[in-house]
Structure 1
Amino acid sequence: MLTTTPSFLRTLCNLRWVAIVGQAVTVLVALGPLGIALPRWPLWGGIGALALFNVYATWRSRRPGEERPGEAFAHMLVDVAVLSWLVAWSGGIGNPFSSMFLLLIAVSALALPLRWVLATGVACLLGYVMTAVFGRPLPHLHGGQFNVHLWGMAVNFVLSAGVVLYFSTRLVAALRMREQELARLRERFARNEGIVALATHAAAVAHELNTPLATLTLLAEDIREHASDADVRDDAGTMRQLIDVCRDRVRALAASADMGVRQRVDLDDVVQRWQLIRPTVELQRTGALPPWLATDASTGHLLQALLNNAADASRQAGSQRVDLDLRCEGDELVGTVRDYGNGFHESVPFQSEQLFRTSKPEGMGVGLALSHATIERLGGRMTMRAVPPKGVQVQFRLPVAGNDESP
């Protein structure tokens, strides 16, 4: 069922206070300087009743929760009834403020569903007809009645223009915010679609790589056993370790395709395996993790992606240094990765959430996009900032409760 937010009712209450003040000033001017013989008690009674209702409406609009369109329509009915009462006692449709019925319809059209707008229009039409039939004519003013009517029309125009402008600007601002949100959702959907396609292809490739990796393992063992040179044997041993890492990665990738399997990893082991793959990187590690911490496997993938991006950025700038800080702060896992690269490229807008978009010549454009997707799925947040004199620092925060089952 459609609902209207409490902000509309609060706005309606604020406008009603403005209307009450304006009505009171109008009655005072008409009875005072203009000297129009109007029935003051019916007019003051209508204004007082509207003020009492608005006190209740203001209290009601501040209560938590969403309001039904029917409640907003009931508020509009009160406004229609009071306006009909005041106009009927001050000239009927000859009153220059009788066109205020159109303003009530416009306000309802900007915030209420169509059927409630039509109901408000019918109510305003009935109110206008009632004031035309039962309205009390204005007393005759010697020579100045037409001028008073013109001044009333001018004031009515200014008030109507102000209210319509207020609601129109709010409506335009809300539409712009909605368009921006839809654009972000479309980008996120396109990114997630690309990630799903990439994951499907990666799972298929993982199964296909089992055979060549097994062959490479046998070749590395054969070289290490039969080589006469000690350096060759050491290189073969290193090759075997790298092949084992690749095989473990492939098996983990294939296992992660099974949605019923939830893997846990030790981030210290993840960092050690990453250093084995990138031995030329000077990793400066700070911070310490509790020994019982075992995070979701996707957190390990997140850390590896950030480290790879940092290492590539530093290498492009002629540096091999990467800083890493891992620690637990309260119920959050906090990781900070800092590179010593050139920072964000000025000619390429930085879009960290877009898939397959990168400023690196050899990059695939999946690292940061996958990182953002992982952060969103685990309920964390990630920030990026430039670090003088050069480099970028990426920090992620993930809830430990969502990653760990501590004792």
Structure 2
Amino acid sequence: MTIPATLPTVAAEAPAEANAGRRNMALLIQLRWLAVGGQLATIGIVTGPMGISLQRAPLLAAVLVLIAINFASLALLRRGRAVTNAELTAVLLFDVAALGWQLHHSGGLANPFASLFLLQVVIGAILLTPASSWAIVAAALAAIGVLAVDPTPLVLPPPYAADPMGLYLKGSLVCFLLIAVLLVAFVTRISRNLRERDAALAASRQRAVEEDHIVRMGLLASGAAHELGTPLSTLSVLIGDWKTAPAIARDTELQQDLADMDAAVRRCKAIVSGILMSAGEARGEAPQVTTMRAFLTALVEEARAGRMPGTVEFNDLFGADLAIISDPALRQVIGNVLDNASEVSPEWIALTASRDGGMAVIEIADRGPGFSDEMIERFGQPYSSTKGRPGGGLGLFLLVNVLRKLGGSASVANRDAGGAVVRVVLPLSAVAADGESV
């Protein structure tokens, strides 16, 4: 069976791209509000203190159009879906058209603010695909061409009529400062968005690699379970025969050893059956409905089997019990954590269960050597182990990924009193039986 390596990565990249599109649209909305405020201030200053006559109606109409575009853009964001390149292109084309309309009614190319087309071209080049960026360039050139044909001239009052070039240069300086400030602010924000997107893509790719690794491990585990079934059954039959053999039946010590061997074989068979059931190969097996307290108690009792009395402590702070669907994978990974804790701390381990709102919190503590800084940094990565044996370090890796599938999380830390603690946070809604309120 071949595992496709590209499909998970493509699926994982989609949310990151979708978030980038939404952030870019939100940034355009903010810039457009700044443009609306700047245009209203400019109209007020030019027609007020400067005394230059402008056609206010068409200019204010363009401002209203920009406000309408912003509200439409906000509606796109509220729908919760990705913002596409076509939608970003459309709103930028509206911006180009609105600027062209305002310049047409305020002097055309003689207006120093005609350079603002450059800002929109740069924004398009950063945010859009190459084809859409060239569409913005074409739209800006078309607007400039239209502005060259019969624009509404500016009628300058006497203080400025004597030196129109001086007024143009001052306006050009203001326009340059405006473009420079907006570009720095915009490019800085876009760079941050791109860094966040790249980080999200890297995390998504890493998650896809880990999930692919788990699939391969599952295939190997399922195959090994099939192969182990026959020898385990043979061992079980042989142990049964030895128990009834006359020479052995009279030896009490051998009978005790055989009983221990039989219990170990039964446990191995149960583990194999659990692997096959998790792989979907069990037949006639319905999901088991139990309660959270019974689920945790079973984990503790299994950890206590074969250990000295009093070495496994169970602190039940969960509160009101809850009916859940027992998940074999969850039971197995938490059992692995208990086994790991018992290996490094055979004299004492503790499982503490509590509830934080709609989350179950399970903490497994020990008095072992604790985690090194490197282990804590690499927590959740495969083959990160202090045991030094081949294939080690998969227990916490599987724990993290099983909890991730259920919407939960896991963390590790060192205890002040010595030893380590593994903290599992699990949404109760992910395991609650149908109809149960969490």
Match of 2:272 in 1: 250
Q: Distance in 2 between matches of 1:379 and 1:10?
A: 28
Q: Determine which of 345, 351, 362 is the counterpart of 1:335.
A: 362
1:181 pairs with one of 195, 200, 208: 200
Q: 1:98 to 1:255 in 2, by over 3 A?
A: closer
C-alpha change, 1:405 and 1:118, in structure 2 (3 Å) is: same
Residue 310 of structure 1 aligns with an amino acid whose one-letter code is: A
CA 1:330/1:104 → structure 2, altered by over 3 Å: closer, same or farther? Answer: closer
TM-score, normalised with respect to structure 2: 0.76
Query: In 2, distance between residues paired with 1:180 and 1:269?
Result: 41
For 1:257-406, list aligned pairs within 5 A.
Answer: 257-258=279-280, 263-264=287-288, 267=295, 268-276=297-305, 282-287=311-316, 290=321, 293-314=324-345, 320-326=347-353, 333-348=360-375, 350-362=377-389, 364-390=392-418, 391-399=420-428, 402=431, 404=433
Change (3 A) 1:401 1:77: closer
Q: How does 1:105-120 map to 2 (within 5 A)?
A: 105-120=121-136
Measured in 2, the distance between the counterparts of 1:126 and 1:156 equals: 21
Moved more, 51-60 or 173-182: 51-60
Please list the CA deviations of residues 166-206 of structure 1 after superposition, one character each: whole Å capped at 9, or x if unmatched. 22222222221222122222222222222222222222222
Shift of the 334–89 alpha-carbon distance from structure 1 to 2, 3 Å rule, reads closer
- Please state whether the residue corresponding to 2:149 is helix, strand or coil: helix
1:91-121 C-alpha deviation (Å, 9 max, x unpaired):
4323322111121222233334555444333
Take 2:98 and 2:430, find their aligned partners in 1: how far apart are those partners? 57
Aligned counterpart for 2:96 among listed residues 55, 74, 80: 80
Number of aligned residue pairs: give it: 398
3-state DSSP of counterpart to 1:336: strand
- Structure 1 letter corresponding to 2:426: R
What runs of 5+ residues in structure 2 fail to find an aligned partner? 1-16
- Root-mean-square deviation (Å): 3.6
CA deviation digits over 1:273-313, x for unaligned, max 9? 33325558811012279596551211211221221232234
CA separation of 1:256 and 1:72: change in aligned 2, threshold 3 A: closer
The whole-number CA distance in structure 1 between the counterparts of 2:298 and 2:202 is: 39
Equivalent residues in 2 for 1:118-129, closer than 5 Å: 118-129=134-145
Identity %: 26
Residue 10 to residue 298, structure 1, CA distance change in 2 (3 Å)? closer
Match of 1:233 in 2: 255
Given candidates 53, 63, 80, the residue that maps to 1:39 is 53
Q: Paired residue for 2:114, among 94, 98, 106?
A: 98
> Which one of the candidate residues 165, 169, 187 is aligned to 1:168?
187
Larger CA deviation: 264-273 vs 326-335: 326-335
Query: Structure 1 residues 29 and 334 mapped into 2: Cα distance closer, same or farther (>3 Å)?
Result: closer
Letter paired with 2:349? V
